[in-house]
Structure 1
Amino acid sequence: MKLSTLFRLDLRTLILLLAIGSALLTLLNVFYASYQAQHRLLLHSTLEANRVYATKLAEVTNHFFRTAWQQLAYSTGQVRDRLDDPARLQQATQDLLYQSDNFNAVAVVSKYGKILAAAPFEQHKALRLDTEGHKAILRRRAPLISQPYLSADNRLVVTLSYPLLDSAGEYQGYLGADIFLTEANVLNLLLGQHYYQDGSYLYVVDSEKHLIYHPDNTRLGEQIEGNPVIDSVLLGNSGEQRLLNSQGLDMLAGFAPVPLSGWGVVAQRPTAATLSELNAKMRGIFIGILPLTLLTLPCIWLLAALISRPLWQLARHAQHMDSPEVPQQIRRIRSWYFEARQLRQAMLKGIGLLHEKITQLNIDSLTDPMTGLLNRRGLQTMLDRLGDDTAFAVIALDIDHFKAINDSKGHAAGDEVIRFLARMMQENSRDSDILCRSGGEEFVMLLPEVTLAVASQVAERLRRHVAHSTPPFVDSLTISLGVTHHAARGPAVRQSLKIADAALYQAKQAGRNRVMVSPDGEHFKSVVS
């Protein structure tokens, strides 16, 4: 058995493959679409959750700074008239420090940068008041949150200050409160303590892109460049973005600014951690639907066989459409669904239409498309049908001065003149006459069972009708005609056509617009009406 026969791709196999392929593709498409939808939903929800979380922390932090300033403002009213009383200043600083966990150290500083009181006192023994932060506070003489800086004892510190003004409104110094960013206080509780098990974390940057809160304390103070989230949040924007962080990790980040301090809060989660649950869930779904899919395949095979059987039978009979028994065999096929019934009817009708189409194609190949008359091939076909036993007259004719019409009026006008002459020929001929456009402006008429004399009269009548007609695009139209007769069992038909052409040539030479008759190609006679 040939390999091509063994693995023949017949209709039944094709439908089976198509059905199974469609089922599997549909399953995969649903699975993929579900995965993509869950993928987008997870990413969006994680980004949104991180944005909301970052925004909430930023709002709480901003509120903390506003509340801390209110504390400082209240305490300023308690100490501004006691700058010359060290004991009462010391008591006021201790009260401010221990009434909440907002601050790690509090100090009253004169306008000359001298510490007048501090709590706890030992914390300020090492405090450098010549730092840029303290100098900025003294210069600004307004409420201020300093940039994070390292104290003399290597603590990362932020100082909140509120100016001290006497009753006359003169600047006397400031009340400052230090927050040690890595030690116990409310701000550290808000921003420094977060408990994640999946790689998620939160970090905070100051206005100069330095890390001031981060799970990895070794990175505190590091300046981050090239991070679009940090660039955006420090411009005052809040939002969400997927990005590669400075460590090259794919992250889903939400961010929000802290307006009072100029800081930016960023909450982010690794993309891989977000999607790990989805991957496990989709694997479980795939494993769960696999048995049902395998059970479905035999059902698909059975349905494919039922559907393909009538089509396969029709295809088998289509190979023998020339057999007289095929129509009856096709009618006996059990076409149990609409498409098969329609196909069976179409095949029965197609056997008949096929012959009609072939006939029409033959007609089209024999007909001149412009005039509807026969072309040269059609003329030859009709001559073959007439045969040698039929006598007929031949009239060859063409349009006088047709080139001048084309040159002066254009080819479109010339085409209309040709169509006009074709209609005149049809109006002045019998149904049995054979009319042909042999080329350009040249035409041939075959008149079966007509004598030379009668053919001459037909030609002259046609010439007169054309000459007295009203053709399109031109004022007048004339034709020249050559007439001869082909006798039954006479000379070759080709010779008769040549004699008619010779008579036409003589009509042209004699002045055009006339009929010239020649029985033998040697003697010519003009028809006089």
Structure 2
Amino acid sequence: MRIVLLTFAMFSAVATLANTFWVMVNIQKQELVESALDGNRAYAQRIADALDGVLSSDLDRLKYSSKVVSTTFSNRHLLAAEAQRLLEQDNSFNSVLVTDAAGTIVASAPEKLQLNGKSLQSREPLERRRAMISNAFQSITGNWVVFVSHPVFDADGQYLGLVGGTIRLEQQNRLQALMDLNRRQNGAYVFVVDNQRRVLYHPDTQQIGRVLGPDRIVDAALGQASGSLRAVDGDGNEMLAGYAGIPSSDWGIISQQPMVVVQEALNVSALKVAKGIVPLGVLGLLLIWWAGTRISRPLSQLADSAKRLDVPESYERISAVPVSYEESWQLRRALLLSTTLLQEKIGKLNRQAQCDPLTGLANRRAMQETLTNWLATKKTIAVIALDIDHFKRVNDNFGHGVGDETLRAVAGLMKQNSRPTDLLCRVGGEEFVLLLPESSVANAADIAERLRLLIASTALETVGHITVSLGVALWQSGGSMDEVFQKADQLLYRAKQQGRNQVVAERPGTVVKAVS
């Protein structure tokens, strides 16, 4: 009996340690996967916004040049000067050309390419007669290029031709510089595809120009949506990917990380957990061996309970085990301590899964879980939608690192201006939501105005002063929370339309604008 009891007790202890290890590793794996997916989604969206800004800026410069050359289209010398000016303005284009209505190049830069007199390789820009960004194609010289163009019309609306610039995908230019600036680490990487599934940018330059086959990740990116997914790519590798579309060009941005990299990080974490558990396990086994001759029925009960330390009711179950001597009391105490520590670890991991890693504010998951409880217990919930004005300029002018610091600074100011009962959330790139339980619209509008003034008056490092626009709406018991979020977004949008740096708040039956 003694051998049977000792064997059973030791087996139960090992099972407890293994179960603890399994629970912690699986929770950590879920956290790593969700963190990688969220990080890749945010990264892809940030790069897509930046790239969209670069391409839109290129189209604006070509639009201006088209107006300049429309008045002097017959003067080839002035056309050549304008082409040279566009080329030297920045490093957006590798070459610039002007064609007549028939597609013949009448001016170009640099002159060494000797393009004058040649015909435009693609007639699509001539036929469509509107500003456009082409898909990638292979030039006569064998280079993969993208052609950005804008039509030229005279004062009477007659089509004269076009002005355009080429972006060579395998040479240095502003597009390449932007992408190279945002190279990722730890196995993650970013690439760009056009709507023909051809690779426009890839850290491996050998991939440029390659047409990708069936791939769920690429399909999602070309759908012009933003999101993340765990899928197998066209090469059969399991990926954790984030994606976003570029509206100005119908291109797609994909930021992805091989699952094997996450698994390697998990293995390192699991090894650390094992090193922490093994000494405790050895000590526990020695204690069991020492006390085994005097432990009978209570040991069996404790061992059974120890197999399920991860369930919430485990503490109560172990506390209910009767003990009649010091040894069994100590064992029960040790299991209760292990249960408490494990539940705290699980709780900590769950909190990390509900926290925005950049700002420390609640994420969408935490917001939805909190709202589920509040909607059943609160009579009113005020919603303040907040958006940083012209945040894209911060990223464009100072880089995404400074942009991240700006987001953290705004989050810190929000915490200073909130109550302990309020819930502060980051729901998008520069988008935030404040939920104020048991608050009126007037009180929420006052809080929003104080927050607006605080942010506007605070000088941030590097960026200086920034402003925010806010929309305030109120949910009342029995109403639709989705409609309230939509109303807050609409009021935020109205604040931006009315000049930004202001609060627009909803009141019963009307919408009024707070003084800004």
1:128–1:152 contact (8 Å) kept in structure 2: no
Residue 403 (structure 1) aligns with: none
Residue 66 (structure 1) aligns with: 56
1:334-362 alpha-carbon deviations (Å, 9 max, x no partner)? x947xx9xxxxxxxxxxxxxxxxxxxxxx
1:165-188 alpha-carbon deviations (Å, 9 max, x no partner)? 111111111111111111111111
Superposition deviation, residue 284 in structure 1: 2.9
Q: Which runs of 5+ in 2 are unaligned?
A: 300-322, 329-516
Residue 194 (structure 2) aligns with: 206
- Rounded to whole Å, the distance in 2 between the matches of 1:69 and 1:211 is 22
- Of the three residues 67, 75, 91, the one matched with 2:65 is 75
Q: Which runs of 5+ in 1 are unaligned?
A: 1-9, 312-334, 341-529
Residue 38 (structure 2) aligns with: 48
The number of aligned residues is 305
- Rounded to whole Å, the distance in 1 between the matches of 2:277 and 2:297 is 31
The 1:213/1:38 distance shift into structure 2, 3 A limit, reads: same
1:127–1:152 contact (8 Å) kept in structure 2: no
Q: Which amino acid in the other structure matches residue 297 of structure 1? A: L
The 1:128/1:241 distance shift into structure 2, 3 A limit, reads: farther
Superposition deviation, residue 126 in structure 1: 8.6
- Rounded to whole Å, the distance in 2 between the matches of 1:159 and 1:74 is 17
Q: Does residue 260 in structure 1 map to residue 254 in structure 2?
A: no
The 1:147/1:127 distance shift into structure 2, 3 A limit, reads: farther
Q: Does residue 247 in structure 1 map to residue 240 in structure 2?
A: no
Q: Does residue 131 in structure 1 map to residue 131 in structure 2?
A: no
- Rounded to whole Å, the distance in 2 between the matches of 1:74 and 1:180 is 22
Superposition deviation, residue 248 in structure 1: 2.1
The 1:191/1:307 distance shift into structure 2, 3 A limit, reads: same
Superposition deviation, residue 21 in structure 1: 2.4
Quote the sequence identity (%).
33
Residues 430-445 of structure 1: pairs in structure 2 closer than 5 A:
none
TM-score under structure 2 normalisation?
Answer: 0.55
1:69–1:160 contact (8 Å) kept in structure 2: yes
Q: Which amino acid in the other structure matches residue 57 of structure 1? A: I
Superposition deviation, residue 247 in structure 1: 2.2
Superposition deviation, residue 120 in structure 1: 0.9
- Of the three residues 138, 156, 173, the one matched with 2:161 is 173
1:81-120 alpha-carbon deviations (Å, 9 max, x no partner)? 0111122111111111111111111111111112121111
Superposition deviation, residue 127 in structure 1: 9.5
Query: Residue 169 of structure 1: SS of its match in structure 2?
Result: coil
- Rounded to whole Å, the distance in 1 between the matches of 2:116 and 2:11 is 79
Query: Residue 296 of structure 2: SS of its match in structure 1?
Result: helix
The 1:185/1:26 distance shift into structure 2, 3 A limit, reads: same
Residue 20 (structure 1) aligns with: 10
Residue 94 (structure 1) aligns with: 84
- Rounded to whole Å, the distance in 2 between the matches of 1:310 and 1:154 is 80
Q: Which amino acid in the other structure matches residue 133 of structure 2? A: I
Q: Which amino acid in the other structure matches residue 31 of structure 2? A: L
- Rounded to whole Å, the distance in 1 between the matches of 2:71 and 2:86 is 16
1:227–1:245 contact (8 Å) kept in structure 2: yes
1:126–1:152 contact (8 Å) kept in structure 2: no
Residues 477-516 of structure 1: pairs in structure 2 closer than 5 A:
none
Query: Residue 215 of structure 1: SS of its match in structure 2?
Result: coil
1:192–1:214 contact (8 Å) kept in structure 2: no
1:314-373 alpha-carbon deviations (Å, 9 max, x no partner)? xxxxxxxxxxxxxxxxxxxxx947xx9xxxxxxxxxxxxxxxxxxxxxxxxxxxxxxxxx
Residues 409-488 of structure 1: pairs in structure 2 closer than 5 A:
none
Superposition deviation, residue 197 in structure 1: 5.5
Superposition deviation, residue 160 in structure 1: 0.9
- Of the three residues 222, 238, 243, the one matched with 1:234 is 222
- Rounded to whole Å, the distance in 1 between the matches of 2:183 and 2:298 is 69
Superposition deviation, residue 136 in structure 1: 0.6
Query: Residue 225 of structure 2: SS of its match in structure 1?
Result: coil
Query: Residue 142 of structure 2: SS of its match in structure 1?
Result: coil
Residue 142 (structure 2) aligns with: 154
- Rounded to whole Å, the distance in 2 between the matches of 1:126 and 1:198 is 47
Flag as ranges the 4+ runs of structure 1 deviating above 6 A. none
Q: Does residue 300 in structure 1 map to residue 327 in structure 2?
A: no
1:128–1:151 contact (8 Å) kept in structure 2: no
1:156–1:182 contact (8 Å) kept in structure 2: yes
The 1:117/1:169 distance shift into structure 2, 3 A limit, reads: same
TM-score under structure 1 normalisation?
Answer: 0.54
